Structure 1
Amino acid sequence: MSTHRPSVLFVCVHNAGRSQMAAGWLRHLAGNAVEVRSAGSLPGDRVNPAAVEAMAEVGIDISGQHPKVLTTDAVEASDVVITMGCGDACPVFPGKRYLDWALEDPAGKGVAAVRPIRDEIGSRIRGLLADLALDLGPRSKA
């Protein structure tokens, strides 16, 4: 009997802030129990430094991540696709679970303004894990 490891794709326009923070939270909280992807419809040049700093404050390192372009293959390979303001740029495939998280864009904001966005994303990731009904055992409460 094979066990399926769920796959989650986070999509925002630049793949530099919201989707990178969400991917960081999910990797941190789920470990290897979930396959994590992120991408952008118009990827930026680098991950937002304020997002990197805000995540580091809660012990999550996203400094090594790079914005990636959204591909049809990434959507097809994912069980859950979570969009964060990419609008119609995200392809839709039957049989996928789609969620749209309305989150403020951290672009151009300082770390103080990014913290509440980071915390909201962390809360939503915890809810997503509960929805996926994963038995992750005791893990960090960062």
Structure 2
Amino acid sequence: MSTSTTPSVLFVCVHNAGRSQMAAAFLTHLGGDRVQVRSAGSAPADTVNPAVLEALAEVGIDISAETPKVLTTEAVQSSDVVITMGCGDACPYFPGKRYLDWQLEDPAGQGVAAVRPIRDEIERRILGLLAELGIEPAA
């Protein structure tokens, strides 16, 4: 863990336009200020996937102001948990960090109907992560 008492989680995917954005949004929504949340990609897209925006809006989460961000070594170094999103993304490795790989379908090029099950699986995993971190999810 970092020197602060607030755990820090980084979600990584190649384009940072779908899965990692959804995961960061759910963790921010459910964890509030009790967890620091970042997301990034090794080759960020220009915009977040519109079907992802729609699928999250359906559950009351608005990430329309978010933009894909580039993965930096500093982001990895300052995170306690680094979660790749099943896309085989290259991520710098630092001892003492917890690394997870969540194998998830890619929402790229999919409509909102195909994104909903991915969204729901990400929410389920975020609830499990919060439990592991000892953080009660927000209502």
Q: Normalization by structure 1: what TM-score? A: 0.93
User: What does 1:125-136 correspond to in 2, within 5 Å?
Assistant: 125-135=126-136
**Count of equivalent residues:** 137
Counterpart CA distance in 2 for 1:111 and 1:6 is 31
Residue of structure 1 in register with 2:105 after alignment:
104
User: For structure 1, which runs of at least 5 residues remain unmatched after alignment?
Assistant: none
Specify the code of the residue in structure 1 equivalent to 2:17.
A
After superposition, residues 116-131 of structure 1 pair within 5 angstroms as 116-131=117-132
**Residue 56 of structure 1 pairs with residue 42 of structure 2:** no
Q: Which runs of 5+ in 2 are unaligned?
A: none
- Percent of aligned pairs sharing the same letter: 74
Is the partner of 1:89 in helix, strand or coil? coil
How far apart are residue 87 of structure 1 and its match? 2.2
Distance 1:46 1:23 in 2: 15
Q: Which residue of 1 aligns with 2:31?
A: 30
Give me the CA root mean square deviation: 1.3
Report the equivalent of 1:4.
5
Q: Taking structure 2 as the reference length, what is the TM-score of the superposition?
A: 0.95
Structure-to-structure mapping, 1:37-76, within 5 angstroms: 37-76=38-77
Secondary structure of 2:119's aligned partner:
helix
Q: Which runs of 4+ in 1 moved over 6 A?
A: none
What secondary structure is seen at the aligned counterpart in 1 of 2:15? coil
Distance, in Å, in 1 between the alignment partners of 2:112 and 2:26 is 17
Deviations 1:66-116 (A, max 9, x none): 000000000000000000134251111000000000000000000000000
Aligned pair 1:78/2:79, yes or no?
yes
Indicate if the aligned counterparts of 2:17 and 2:48 stay in contact, CA closer than 8 A: yes
Tell me the alpha carbon deviations over residues 110-136 of structure 1, each in whole angstroms, 9 at most, x when there is no partner: 000000000000000000000001245
